[in-house]
Structure 1
Amino acid sequence: MDKVQRKSCILLLEDGSIFHGYGIGLIGTTSGEICFNTGITGYQEVYTDPSYYGQILVNTTSHIGNYGVLDAETESGSVKIKGLVVKKFSDIFSRIQAEGSLQKYLEEAKIVGISDIDTRKLVRHIREKGAMNAIISSEIDDIDKLKELLSAVPSMEGLELASQVSTKETYFEGNPDAPLKVAVLDLGIKRNILRNLTSKGCYCKVFPSGTSFEEMNSWNPDGFFISNGPGDPASTTYAVETVKEIIKRDIPVFGICLGHQIIALANGITTYKMHHGHRGLNHPVKNLVTGKCEITSQNHGFSVSSDSVKNNENVEITHINLNDGTVEGIKILGKKAFSVQYHPEAAPGPHDSWYLFDQFIALMGEAETV
Structure 2
Amino acid sequence: MKAYLILEDGHVFEGVSFGAEKEVISEFVFNTSMTGYTEILTDPSYAGQSVVMTYPLIGNYGVSYKDQEAAHPFVEGFVVHELSRLGSNFRMNMNLNDYMIENNIPGIQGVDTRAITKIIRQHGCMNGMITTQKYNLDEVLDKIKAFKVEGVVQRCTCDAPYKLGKGDFHVALYDFGAKRNIAKELVKRGCEVTVVPASTPASEIINGNYDGIMLSNGPGDPAENVEIVKEIKELAASGMPIFAICLGHQLMALAHDFKTEKLKFGHHGANHPVRDAHTGRVYISTQNHNYVIKEDSIDPEVAKVWFTNVNDGTIEGMEYINENIRTVQFHPEASAGPHDTAYLFDEFIKMMGGHKNA
With normalisation by structure 1, the TM-score equals 0.95
Give the one of 169, 172, 180 matched to 1:191. Answer: 180
Taking the aligned partners of 2:144 and 2:33, their CA distance within structure 1 comes to 28
Identify the residue that residue 231 of structure 2 maps to in structure 1: 242
Can you give the 5+ residue segments of structure 1 that lack an aligned partner in the other structure?
1-6
Runs of 4 or more consecutive aligned structure 1 residues displaced over 4 Å after TM superposition: none
Identify the residue that residue 291 of structure 1 maps to in structure 2: 280
Identify the residue that residue 320 of structure 1 maps to in structure 2: 308
The 3-state SS of whatever aligns with 2:275 is: strand
- 8 A Cα contact 2:206 2:238, kept in partner: no
Taking the aligned partners of 1:242 and 1:220, their CA distance within structure 2 comes to 17
Identify the residue that residue 102 of structure 2 maps to in structure 1: 108
Give the C-alpha shift of residue 145 in structure 1.
4.1
**Letter of the 2:20 counterpart:** L
Give the C-alpha shift of residue 240 in structure 1.
1.1
Identify the residue that residue 169 of structure 1 maps to in structure 2: 160
- 8 A Cα contact 1:27 1:139, kept in partner: no
**Letter of the 2:335 counterpart:** A
Give the one of 193, 196, 199 matched to 1:207. Answer: 196
Give the C-alpha shift of residue 216 in structure 1.
2.1
Taking the aligned partners of 1:304 and 1:217, their CA distance within structure 2 comes to 26
Give the one of 243, 250, 263 matched to 1:274. Answer: 263
Give the C-alpha shift of residue 150 in structure 1.
1.6
How many residue pairs align between the two structures?
A: 358
1:32 matched to 2:32: no
**Letter of the 1:338 counterpart:** R
1:11 matched to 2:5: yes
The 3-state SS of whatever aligns with 2:173 is: strand
Identify the residue that residue 350 of structure 1 maps to in structure 2: 338
The 3-state SS of whatever aligns with 1:127 is: helix
The 3-state SS of whatever aligns with 2:254 is: helix
Taking the aligned partners of 1:312 and 1:161, their CA distance within structure 2 comes to 32
1:51 matched to 2:42: no
Taking the aligned partners of 1:160 and 1:326, their CA distance within structure 2 comes to 26
Taking the aligned partners of 1:347 and 1:328, their CA distance within structure 2 comes to 19
Identify the residue that residue 4 of structure 1 maps to in structure 2: none
- 8 A Cα contact 1:286 1:293, kept in partner: yes
Identify the residue that residue 79 of structure 2 maps to in structure 1: 85
1:182 matched to 2:171: yes
The 3-state SS of whatever aligns with 1:219 is: coil
Q: Deviations over 1:2-39 (max 9, x none)?
A: xxxxx111100011111111101011201100001100
Give the C-alpha shift of residue 153 in structure 1.
1.4
With normalisation by structure 2, the TM-score equals 0.98
1:149 matched to 2:137: no
CA RMSD of aligned residues (A): 1.1
Give the C-alpha shift of residue 65 in structure 1.
1.0
Taking the aligned partners of 2:162 and 2:129, their CA distance within structure 1 comes to 36
The 3-state SS of whatever aligns with 2:262 is: strand
Taking the aligned partners of 2:203 and 2:134, their CA distance within structure 1 comes to 50
